[in-house]
Amino acid sequence: MREIVFDTETTGLDPQSGDRLVEIGCIEMVHRVPTGAVFHCYFNPERSMPAEAEAVHGLSSTFLADKPLFATRAAELLEFLGDAPLVAHNAGFDFGFLNAELAQCSLAPINRDRMVDTVAIARRKHPGAKLSLDALCSRYGIDRSHRVRHGALLDAELLAQLYVELMGGRQIGLELAAEVPVAHVQTAQPMVVAPPRGVRPARPHAASAEELARHSTFVEKITGAIWSR
């Protein structure tokens, strides 16, 4: 099954009040294994970057000034997403910004039926626990030492690892085994069966008259035999 794990960075918290999408990072997974295919892009939000948002992700207005508008990459992004389920952490937030940007391009919104929210999954598995990406990475032993600031592609990479753990961990061997083409499966060598042997006739086991006579002679030579007492 193909899935896309993604994350976004924005100028703020509410697209309805004028906040814009400034970065998106998407990772393709098939059977919950990353394929290496990614989509990553920064966008010029056509507005200033609030200081509090820049403190979170480090993306300044100067850095974003020469980046493309969302509209110029929208078709490419939609092609990459395809019709796959879309996995995000607190997915309602990311879907809200993504669909707001699509609306500004007069493009149809992405159906929320495709939304897979890892916060909701984690809440069911760990009620009462901290559900931030940092906290859950710590819980599952996912290395995030290189995460100094938020970044859409970096966070998507961490989320892809977390998603696998939340869904039961990596049992890749079992999944891949089911996918190996028959032509690539090494079959066992046929068992070699020995031809059946013929039935041997019973050997004679009674002593001959000569053997009995020799035995009697031998016994007579034994002195102090216990059977003579």
Catalytic residue numbers, as ranges: 150
Domain 2-177 -> CATH class? alpha beta
- Rounded average pLDDT over 62-71: 98
pLDDT at 3: 98
List, for residues 4-25, the tens digit of each pLDDT value. Answer: 999 999 999 999 999 999 999 9
Tell me the Ramachandran region of residue 79: left when phi exceeds 0, alpha when psi lies from -120 to 50, beta otherwise: alpha
**Residue keyed to tokens 């970096």:** 154
139 pLDDT more than 80: yes
96 pLDDT more than 60: yes
pLDDT at 185: 36
pLDDT at 35: 97
75 pLDDT more than 90: yes
Tell me the Ramachandran region of residue 126: left when phi exceeds 0, alpha when psi lies from -120 to 50, beta otherwise: beta
Q: C-alpha 177: how far from its chain's center? A: 14
- Rounded average pLDDT over 65-75: 98
In the chain, what percentage of residues exceed pLDDT 70?
82
pLDDT at 146: 78
Relative to beta strand 2-10, strand 21-30 is antiparallel
Q: How confident is the model at residue 172 (pLDDT cuts 50, 70, 90)?
A: very low
Q: What is d(CA 26, CA 130) in angstroms, rounded to the nearest whole number? A: 25
pLDDT at 175: 44
Boundaries of every domain in the chain? 2-177
DSSP run (H or E) holding 138: helix 133-139
For 77, counting Cβ atoms within 10 Å of its Cβ (0-12 exposed, 13-18 middle, 19+ buried), the class is middle
- Identify the weakest region by mean pLDDT among 39-48, 134-143, 218-227: 218-227
